[in-house]
Amino acid sequence: MKKFALICAVTAITLSLALIGCGGKSDEDGETVRDEIETPDAVPFPTEDATIAVAGIVKFEGDVPVRKQLVVSGSDAVCTAAHGANPILSEVYVVDDHGDHKTLTDVYVRVKGLEKTYKGFTTPSTAVVINQKGCQYKPHAAALMTGQELKVTSDDDTTHNVHYVGNNPEKNKTSKLGQVISWKFNKADVKGKLKCDVHSWMGAQLYIQSHPFHAVTGSEGTFSLGMLPPGTYTIEARHAKAGRQSQTITLEKGKPAPKIEFVFKKK
């Protein structure tokens, strides 16, 4: 019986390990972080028929949220001086009222799972730049392709430290006025963040994808994802606080893409 029990125990442990191995890495809301993996069936991109421009808008429904004044410790006058008489405001919900509609800034929109169908995407040769200005990251959210350069600059005559946490190995570097930090990332990441351990309120979302079909909304709420071939695609929009949504679109040969519209509310 003892031998039988031992065999059972070993089998159970082996099965557990196999399940862990198959399960993938899950983030806090249960999404596996594996979609950067290319499948063997992926075909080289672009194909000749990748001519349909995909674009849309992210609207906001409800009252324009009041942007809270961030608590500034008072220890760094450079931060407050950079804003003059204005307070340093929260960038969590930046909503623009355009009269007949409102839009939400800093929403990350991507074509989800495109790397399963296509491979060989061209990495943009231009760097994505995030500047530290008035002790805030500008922009507050950015989209970056794996292998693309991220430059973090500083207009502030104070010491920051740029601290990346996410799906890639952690990065942490001191930053002073005029210095440029140059980083590249190898893994896709929709939960990456830049922090500053000197100024606790500083933060930025850094969205990394293994293809270039992604964008972050600005003050007009619009996004442009690039040119795709006919087919059916999942378009996902996510915001740091308002959650995420997705919709399926079908692109047909010889026809313009359907206009994509997401509507977010405050959560």
| Contact (CB, 8 A) for 130 and 142 | yes
| Dist CA 170 CA 192 (whole Å) | 10
Using the structure block, give the residue that is written with the tokens 């939960």: 191
State yes or no: residue 140 binds Cu ion (CB under 5 A).
no
Rank residues 119 and 133 by Cβ distance to Cu ion and give the closer one.
Answer: 133
State yes or no: residue 163 binds Cu ion (CB under 5 A).
no
Give least dist CB 154 to Cu ion, A.
9
Rank residues 88 and 198 by Cβ distance to Cu ion and give the closer one.
Answer: 198
What is the Cα 197 distance to its own chain's centre? 21
For residue 116, give the DSSP letter.
G
Q: Which of residues 32-61 bind Cu ion (CB under 5 A)?
A: none
Rank residues 46 and 134 by Cβ distance to Cu ion and give the closer one.
Answer: 134
Give least dist CB 213 to Cu ion, A.
32
| Dist CA 209 CA 110 (whole Å) | 9
Q: Is the peptide bond before 139 cis (omega within 30 degrees of 0)?
A: yes
Binding piece for Cu ion, criterion CB under 5 A, among 20-28, 53-61, 123-131, 152-160:
152-160
Contacts of 1 (CB under 8 A, 6+ apart): none
**Of positions 102, 110, 160, 163, contacts Cu ion by CB under 5 A:** 160
Give least dist CB 160 to Cu ion, A.
3
Which x/- pattern, by CB under 5 A, does the window 182-201 give for Cu ion?
Answer: --------------x-xx--
| Contact (CB, 8 A) for 212 and 226 | yes
Which x/- pattern, by CB under 5 A, does the window 196-235 give for Cu ion?
Answer: x-xx--x---------------------------------
Rank residues 112 and 199 by Cβ distance to Cu ion and give the closer one.
Answer: 199
The size of the interface with Cu ion (CB under 5 A), counted in residues, is 5
Number of H helices and E strands in the chain, helices first, is: 2, 20
| Dist CA 31 CA 49 (whole Å) | 32
Residue 72 neighbours by CB distance under 10 Å: 17
Residues lying near Cu ion in the complex (CB under 5 A) are found at 160, 196, 198-199, 202
